[in-house]
A and B are shown apart, each in its own frame.
Chain A
């Protein structure tokens, strides 16, 4: 079907439903050629998808060629290629833009390249690493251009400009801007898992929950990078945002950008000011770890540069703690060792931190034990796995602490505060001390 015969949903106010698998005119000479997956109920194992998702791919026609922007999950390759063939022939395709190389966007790449081996692939600097892994021995057979912010590709009377926007949500992610039409292809950024064949945000059902749910689980761990991406995007003139999943945002696209800006901003204004924040969480079976926690708190609180908070995890909800931790500078976890392990509630909280950015925060662990005391080292290892720095060796005390041991806990708190405020004096050790 030639492009001019496409079912057009571009005219606003008409909620016409395209046949499954048919391409959709998104804007002048821009077509959606993706696939609907309404029966998907779980995405990447971790996300629930109550009404499925879409894999959005696009074709942009210029006077000197056609660009394909992203593809689809592998099992939808046939649908994608059928849609593509409806709007362009393979020999017309000059460019394949891969804004993100996760399999749900690159599943059709091998077959597309088999049919159009001449096209030039545009990827971000980090994207080329994944492309190499994707194409394996065939990588050298294709034309690949590494693109960075400001680089452009001409399609004649249409120009694609690239914005390197890493970690939203993979290292390779980028956005592509169609200059002449103020149309921004964002792949996962500003997307969501919501399947509605009406496709446009002014026509589909209520996807607000899906939009925020997607942000919370996909983008939130990379908030700092989302801010950098928004800084690049906000100055652009934007008529439409075409993401890789979910509705195309043609009505009030700026409101979605503004909403992202709100989502990356603190929910409550912090009263802490210039102080560093240290959160101490603990669990205690017989009161020993609780005593330690109070002493660590006392020691840290002596430092005027640190605002310290103390929480008993036994009676706390995990989710609000995750919110607090997201904005804290330092975390200390007190856990007894029970059955050779830290207590499950601690692991539950630590597991919840996968949704936030903890890189570079100060981490510490302490706890009382009866026989073995492995919990402290286990928690420290997890904190390091969360990309936190753990400069103070964890504190373990057998059974209830003595007064001297409580002094050691206070000193531990003081040292944590000093690490937070940059007051920790330089130390020097020998390699042999680490063996």
Chain B
């Protein structure tokens, strides 16, 4: 199975994860400051800054694109409850 290295800058921790893992599946377990509201991609609470490896994440869905826009997200921001890591190296931190 393909793997990815997902690094959380705010807690200085890298997790080797299977391809397809969502950030939400990891961040709470390791105590990252990325926080969640609805967990369904609607509220924008889990806005996450992708410091590196944007190209290694799944494309945002139409819903995620809308929520990102309405939450004034920056170009490198994603919703941690929605996006999946596909492979390679990714570094994130709370937005």
Chain A residues near B (Cβ < 8 Å) = 125-126, 128-129, 146, 164, 166, 171, 359-360, 363, 380, 384, 387-393, 419, 424-431, 434
Contact B10 A389 (CB under 8 A): yes
Known: A359-B35, A360-B94, A388-B33. A171 touches B71 (CB 8 A): yes
Q: Nearest chain-B residue to A360 (Cβ)?
A: B33
Contact A391 to B31, CB < 8 A, known contacts A125-B69, A129-B70: yes
**Are A128 and B70 in contact, with the CB atoms below 8 A?**
yes
The minimal Cβ–Cβ distance linking B3 to chain A, given in whole angstroms, is: 8
Q: Are B72 and A126 in contact, CB atoms less than 8 angstroms apart?
A: yes
Q: How far is the CA of A363 from the CA of B29 in the complex (A)?
A: 14
Write out the residue numbers on chain A whose beta carbons fall within 8 Å of the beta carbon of B15.
Answer: 428-431, 434
Residue from A128, A359, A425 in contact with B33 in the complex, judged by beta carbons closer than 8 Å: A359
Q: Which residue of B lies closest to A422 (CB)?
A: B12
Q: How large is the interface on B (under 10, 10 to 19, 20 to 34, 35 or more residues)?
A: 20 to 34
B33 touches A427 (CB 8 A): no
A384 touches B31 (CB 8 A): yes
Residue B92 lies at the interface, judged by CB distance under 8 Å to chain A: no
Residues of A within 8 A of B28 (CB): 384
B69 CB contacts on chain A under 8 angstroms = 125
Name the distance in Å between B2's Cβ and chain A's nearest Cβ: 12
Residues of A within 8 Å of B14, CB to CB, are 426-429
Sampled A-B contacts (23; CB under 8 Å): A125-B70, A126-B44, A126-B70, A129-B42, A129-B43, A129-B44, A146-B70, A359-B33, A360-B33, A380-B31, A388-B33, A389-B32, A389-B94, A390-B31, A391-B10, A391-B32, A419-B11, A426-B7, A426-B14, A427-B13, A428-B5, A429-B13, A430-B15
**Interface on B for A, CB 8 Å cutoff?**
5, 7, 10-18, 21, 26, 28-33, 35, 42-44, 67, 69-72, 94
- Least CB distance from A187 to B in Å reads 19
Instruction: Give chain B nearest CB distance to A276 CB in angstroms.
Output: 14
Of residues B10, B31, B32, B67, which shows the largest number of chain A Cβ atoms within 10 Å of its Cβ?
B31
Whether the pair A392, B31 counts as a contact (CB closer than 8 A) is yes
Contact between chains at B33 and A419 (CB < 8 Å): no
In the complex, chain B residues whose CB is within 8 Å of the CB of A426: 7, 12-14
Are A391 and B13 in contact (CB-based, < 8 A)? yes
Q: B7 to chain A: which residues have CB within 8 Å? A: 426
Cβ distance A360 to chain B, nearest Cβ, rounded Å: 5
Contact check, B31 vs A125: say whether CB atoms are below 8 A apart: no
| B70 & A360 in contact (Cβ 8 Å cutoff) | no
- Are the CB atoms of B44 and A171 closer together than 8 Å? yes
Whole-angstrom CA separation of A387 from B59 in the bound complex: 27
How many Å lie between the Cα of A380 and that of B94 in the bound state? 18
- Are the CB atoms of A391 and B71 closer together than 8 Å? no
Residue among B15, B44, B94 with most chain A CB within 10 A: B15
- Give B25 Cβ to nearest chain A Cβ, in Å: 9
B13 touches A428 (CB 8 A): yes
A290 CB, min distance to chain B CBs, angstroms: 25
Query: Which residues in A have their C-beta under 8 angstroms from that of B42?
Result: 129
Q: Which residue of A lies closest to B21 (CB)?
A: A431
**Which 3 pairs between the two chains have the least Cβ-Cβ distance?**
A390-B31, A391-B11, A389-B33
Distance of A159 Cα from B42 Cα, bound (Å): 33
